[in-house]
Amino acid sequence: MRELLEAVGPALEMVGWAAGVPAIGLLVTAWVLRRHYRRWRPSPAEVRILEGQPCAVWTAPDGTVVSGLLSADAAPPGSTVTIYHQDPGWHVWLTHEPPDRSRPIRTAGWVLLFVAVLANIVGLAAALLP
């Protein structure tokens, strides 16, 4: 067993470092994506017919009245829908909640970090065996 751990020890350290660097990159990427996701704000919008087209009309955070074209199968005129816009700024908006893409990336980062720590611990234990 000792000979096996001595032979595999340096390779485990290499695997640990090879998994640790991308893990840090994935965790930073997930953090940036999460900050971007938190900028989306819901706002109530009224469905109106403007120039013969169904449009969502809402008030931006700065008090500006904004309208945007809806699809033909939108809610009936006079009803209220929820739109999502980025804060600050109202020129980018969605009629559905934007997906949070940070969770799978964050999970992959934590798994890689666990593999890196485990590989380095086993490699260190192999080097310290009497």
Count of residues in the chain? 130
Spans of the chain below 50 pLDDT: none
Strand partners, 59: 65
Q: Is the pTM of this model over 0.85?
A: no
Phi, psi of 96 (to 5 degrees): -125, 160
- Distance, C-alpha 124 to centroid of its chain: 34
| Tokens linked to 47 | 């469905």
Nearest to 74 by CA among 48, 97, 100: 48
- Residue 120: per-residue pLDDT: 87
